[in-house]
Chains A and B, each alone.
Chain A
Amino acid sequence: MADDSLTPPAGAAKPAAPKPKPPTPAPVQNPALAGKTTSRAASAAKKAGKVIDDTSPLMGRRGWMSLAWASFTAATGGCLAATGRFMFPNVLNEPPQQFTIGFPDEYAVGVDERWKDRFGVWIVRTPFDAVHEAAGFYVLFSVCTHLGCTPNWLPAEVKFKCPCHGSGFRDTGQNFEGPAPRPLERARVVLAEDGQILVDKAQKYQFELGQWSDPEAFLAV
């Protein structure tokens, strides 16, 4: 609207210069628009040579600024929240916690390492478990209870040995040397409907809490 003075309104009766003046300043005197700016009032006031302020008829300048800052802050906060949420995916490409590992007769007595790389567990078949007083299976997590490294199974010495700080565990999982403070943890092991062994890593059993005697911590065969 800054160029109003340069562009006469189309079809306006310009020749009679002094005449159109009185009607135009009228909006300024409108009490509802007092001190406010509309394009009409602005051009009228400009023609009348008055100093105008540029507040809106809807809201004061301070109100607009508050609204603008509030909107900006809300939008920024929303973006930050969305960014935070973005860092937590809905799908994980990690090995499942629950899986079947074949039929019991596929396993010989002793420590079996075939699922260690993929699922992080040892399958142990024992002729006699001291806790359950039966023959069967238990599943040990291949995670050292000291600081979380992966121990190695040493068949010649019949023990799990952690390469990081030298913790040693019997084939039962019981710790007997090195800094490890407690035995290896056992996972839930049951028979699936089709007769395969089902391992559930989401459920873990700790010896020191007396959980090894839980019926699902051992699969009697």
Chain B
Amino acid sequence: MAEAKSIKPQESALVRAWNWLTETQVWVSVFRHTAPINDRNRVLVMLSNVFLHLHPVRLKKHGVRLRYTWCMGGLSFFLFLNLTFTGLLLMFYYRPTLEYAYTDIVGLREHVPLGIMREMHRWAAHAMVITVWLHMFRVFMTGSYKPPREFNWNVGVIMLVLTLLLSFTGYLLPWDQLAIWAITVGSNMARATPFLGYEGPGASLLAIGDVRLVHAADDARFALLGGTFVGEGALLRFYVLHCVALPLVIGFLMAVHFWRVRKDGGISGPL
């Protein structure tokens, strides 16, 4: 009597390779959860991944309505990432010294492949100022600054100032006539800082007898320029502010900003 044999169909080589791969220790140690095919797994996958967890697990439907948000916050963040990356690349060629700054900028166009890199940085910087303003305008017009979001509105205002300061500090770096005189004019405003600028209101009160405590060589403008005029000290100081200090601060505030958006109930929507 012949025995009835049931033969299980062989899986294809690709499927077997995939099964083997996903069972290796390396794979399992990297990907802790199986495919996100149901709600529970989707949540687990997002919460256990540092990149995915930056984005909320759930979005409100109105959150992706372009007509409401204009995506201006997202575009601002995208441009910031863009600027960080192109700026990093520019740092490979730019030297912030009187001798090299201007020629390095020219060299970035003439001597380096993709001479458009510096222009991308510049255009993205202009675009970011515009998108940040429009983001603020949208938030204002939709009343999204109202409780419980008033704290985040203030964080946003500080980031607006930082965006403008990043623009201002970046302005000096090409070290051409436009840059030098624009920063000369701009930093002269710091002379009028109350108490801290040597021409500002109240500064003359800070004196011991005839000796003024706030003068041209120790006031707010001096702190900004690292000198009494726009020179070598100012160039280096603006470079460090532009490339390290301000991006660190605004990056920190962005983390707070995005976190608060989620904690305050997600992207605000029509009531």
Q: Which residues of A contact B (CB under 8 A)?
A: 82-83, 85-91
Contact = CB atoms under 8 A, between A and B. Distances in A.
Contacts of B93: 89
A86 B107 contact: no
Interface residues of B, number: 10
Interface in B30-88: none
A90 B112 CA distance: 5
20 contacts: A82-B114, A83-B89, A85-B113, A85-B114, A86-B89, A86-B113, A86-B114, A86-B117, A87-B92, A89-B93, A89-B107, A89-B111, A89-B112, A90-B111, A90-B112, A90-B113, A91-B107, A91-B110, A91-B111, A91-B112
Of the candidates B89, B107, B110, B113, the one having the most CB atoms from chain A within 10 angstroms of its own CB is: B113
Contacts of B114: 82, 85-86
Name the 10 nearest CB pairs between A and B, nearest first: A91-B111, A89-B112, A85-B113, A86-B114, A89-B111, A82-B114, A90-B111, A86-B89, A86-B113, A86-B117
Interface in B74-129: 89, 92-93, 107, 110-114, 117
Contacts of B111: 89-91
Nearest to B89: A86
A138 to B, nearest CB: 35
Nearest to A79: B85
Nearest to A87: B92
B84 to A, nearest CB: 13
Nearest to B100: A93
Nearest to B65: A2
Contacts of B117: 86
A184 B117 CA distance: 43
B94 to A, nearest CB: 12
B69 to A, nearest CB: 16
A83 B107 CA distance: 17
Of the candidates B93, B107, B112, the one having the most CB atoms from chain A within 10 angstroms of its own CB is: B112
A82 B89 CA distance: 11
A88 B114 CA distance: 10
Of the candidates A85, A87, A89, the one having the most CB atoms from chain B within 10 angstroms of its own CB is: A89
A89 B89 contact: no
A83 B92 CA distance: 12
Nearest to B112: A89
A147 B230 CA distance: 45
A82 B92 CA distance: 15
A140 to B, nearest CB: 32
B107 to A, nearest CB: 7
